[in-house]
């Protein structure tokens, strides 16, 4: 990252804790091969030891083609309800096959609780090819508006 040295009010340990605990999607921004901006939301997991976010998506998703053409990304993970806080940054992304759907299984459990739902079964279907998107942050910034929002009450 260097998330070992994030800017903003949070330490690296606080960043690690927030990314591990927050179950909101990452908002990921990249560029299309035509150099247009593209943004999407994906489920993610944070690996503090590897300093990377991992997402899963269908192998034929547009973003896979976009990231293979150009690997620079920006991202944001933030709360949807007050007080607003979060982590944003930029980095690079790689795409690789997830033939066993290991990352997808972990994400389904993280976001849905288990793999028993119809959505989970459809996503884990053997006919569906899955990839892992690994996001390696190079710059990370944090913000936390809790004190500011409390003082405006």
Judge whether 53 and 71 are in contact, CB under 8 Å: no
Mean pLDDT, the chain, as a whole number?
94
Q: Is the pLDDT of residue 1 over 60?
A: no
Q: Which of 71, 61, 74, 75 is nearest to 94 (CA)?
A: 71
Pairing of the two strands 45-47 and 52-58: antiparallel
Asked if residue 70 lies in contact with residue 33, where contact means CB atoms within 8 angstroms, the answer is yes
Task: Give 82's Cβ-side CA count (13 Å radius).
Answer: 8
Task: Categorize the per-residue pLDDT at 146 as very low, low, confident or very high, splitting at 50, 70 and 90.
Answer: confident
- Tens-place pLDDT, residues 11-66: 999 999 999 999 999 999 999 999 999 999 999 999 999 999 999 999 999 999 99
Of the listed ranges 31-35, 60-64, 133-137, 147-151, the one predicted with least confidence: 147-151
State what percent of residues in the chain have pLDDT above 70.
Answer: 95
Going by pLDDT thresholds of 50, 70 and 90, the confidence category of residue 153 is low
E strands, 3-70, in order: 26-31, 37-42, 45-47, 52-58
Q: Phi and psi dihedrals of 136, rounded to 5?
A: -105, 100
| CATH number listed for the domain at residues 12-97+133-142 | 2.30.110.10
**Per-domain boundaries in the chain:** 12-97+133-142
């Amino acid at each position: 990252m260097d998330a070992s040295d994030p800017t903003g009010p949070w330490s690296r340990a606080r960043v690690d804790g927030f990314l591990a605990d927050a179950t909101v999607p990452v908002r990921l921004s990249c560029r299309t091969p035509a150099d247009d901006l593209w943004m999407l939301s994906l489920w993610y997991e944070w690996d503090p030891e590897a300093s990377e976010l991992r997402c899963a998506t269908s192998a034929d998703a547009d973003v896979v083609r976009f990231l293979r053409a150009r690997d620079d990304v920006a991202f944001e993970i933030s709360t949807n309800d007050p007080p607003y806080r979060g982590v944003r940054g930029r980095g690079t992304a790689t795409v690789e096959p997830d033939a066993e759907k290991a990352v997808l299984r972990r994400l389904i459990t993280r976001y849905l609780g288990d793999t028993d739902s119809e959505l989970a079964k459809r996503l884990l279907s053997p006919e569906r090819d899955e990839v892992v998107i690994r996001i390696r942050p190079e710059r990370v910034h944090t913000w936390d508006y809790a004190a500011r929002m409390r003082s405006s009450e």
